[in-house]
Amino acid sequence: VKSAVQSLSKWYLRQARALPWRENHDPYRIWISEVMLQQTQVATVIPYYHRFLKELPTLEALAAAPTEKVLQLWSGLGYYSRARNLQKGAQYLVEKYAGKFPRMREEIEEVPGIGPYTAGAILSIAFDLPEALVDGNVQRVFARYFGIQAEIEQRETQRLFWQHAATWVKAAEAPRVLNQALMELGAMICTKGTPKCDLCPLAQTCVARAKGWQEELPRRKARRKAVDLWWQGFVVEKKGKIFLRQNQKGEWWTDLWDFPTRPLTSREVWEKPPAFEARRLAPQKHTVTHHRIHIAPYHHAVSRKPPFELGPGRWVSVEEAQNLPLSSLARKVLQAYLC
Ligand code: SF4
């Protein structure tokens, strides 16, 4: 373990990408980056990260901000419960710990929105404590390095990953380097599909490499089949303003703003225009969990009464719409309208 940990750490110190959240060890900045990166690619996150920290540079600022502002800064990143939880977490930290991050795993895992992974990331990266973390990249590296054949979703396999992660981080001279190195290796070298074993600092002792198992590991449970949903969406325009409705509790993307939509029964119906006059815009696709939404957006200009019930919402200019926290789907429809 010691020598693998050392080679990996050295490799990281030589090769790590310069990323904005690696500029210092401020726990708040690390926390924001880790949460943003959970479901989103690095390149997408960078501008959001800068914007978020410019507007809300401290834990206190995040705790005190109107939720709509936080959602607006998050708008486009998806998985909005992450933003909501960040704010709840910030309020909790300000209230209970006077705006400081506790350094005990049990305490930090009590913070709303902070689970075992994020706790490990903050404790190790910000405070250099030997606390483990396991994310998708770490799972892939360990599954291959140790030649783990069991499905990674299984509880036993997860336990094994965490055990290995704990052993490795405890053997490291600098926990913050080792944990980031594991994730960096998964992101840059031990990638999905065909990994770049020739460049890997763990190549000498890797089971998957020795046995040629790189492409079959990690093993996963068969995925749930995607369900196609066929929707129409409407950019209803009146006197230069467009109509947006706010999603209600229980709906997807609660509190975010959307164009009115209408679910249809099949692709055949979806391909036909609505019964009233409307200009068809470029169709868009959007994935939510295992749903694949196909939306056919239409632009409909009204002089008086719209042809269907719009529900509660606001008439706004395009500029105002761009500054509201829109759902990612609404952003795509707006883009299609502006094209
Ligand atoms: S040798 Fe290849 S499979 Fe093994 S950890 Fe390195 S990149 Fe991954």
Q: What is the mean pLDDT of each run of 10 residues along the chain (339 residues)?
A: 96 96 96 92 95 97 95 87 94 97 97 95 98 97 97 96 98 98 97 96 97 96 90 95 92 92 94 92 92 96 87 92 93 94
Q: Ligand 1 within 6 A of 202 CB?
A: yes
Report the nearest-CA residue for atom 2 of ligand 1.
Answer: 197
User: Taking a C-beta distance cutoff of 8 angstroms, is the pair 199, 189 a contact?
Assistant: yes
Q: Is 12 in the pocket of ligand 1 (CB under 6 A)?
A: no
Pocket test for ligand 1, best of 184, 206, 211, 217 (most atoms within 8 A of CB): 206
Q: What is the pLDDT of residue 306?
A: 86
145 lines ligand 1 (CB under 6 A): yes
pLDDT of residue 79: 78
- Is 216 in the active site? no
- Check pocket membership of 141 for ligand 1, CB cut-off 6 A: yes
- Check if 217 has its Cβ closer than 6 Å to any atom of ligand 1: no
Buried b (16+ CB within 10 A) or exposed e, 309-329: ebeeeeebeeeebeebbbbbb
Q: 3-state class of 109 per DSSP?
A: coil
Which of helix, strand or coil describes residue 263?
strand
User: Of residues 23, 34, 151, 319, which has the active-site annotation?
Assistant: 34
Query: Cα of 115 to ligand 1 centre, how many Å?
Result: 28
Q: What is the pLDDT of residue 312?
A: 86
Q: What backbone torsions phi and psi does residue 132 show, to the nearest 5 degrees? A: -75, 160
Question: For ligand 1, is residue 143 a contact (CB within 6 Å)?
Answer: no
- Distance (Å) from CA 207 to ligand 1 centroid: 8
pTM of the model: 0.77
The number of the ligand 1 atom at minimal distance from the alpha carbon of 203 is 1
Going from the Cα of 120 to the center of ligand 1, the distance in angstroms, rounded, reads 23
Q: Is the CB of 197 under 6 A from ligand 1?
A: yes
Quote the ligand 1 centre to 76 CA distance (angstroms).
Answer: 34
Residue 305, pLDDT score: 85
The pairing of strands 291-301 and 284-288 is: antiparallel
The torsion of the CA quartet 67, 85, 92, 58, rounded to 10 degrees, works out to -60
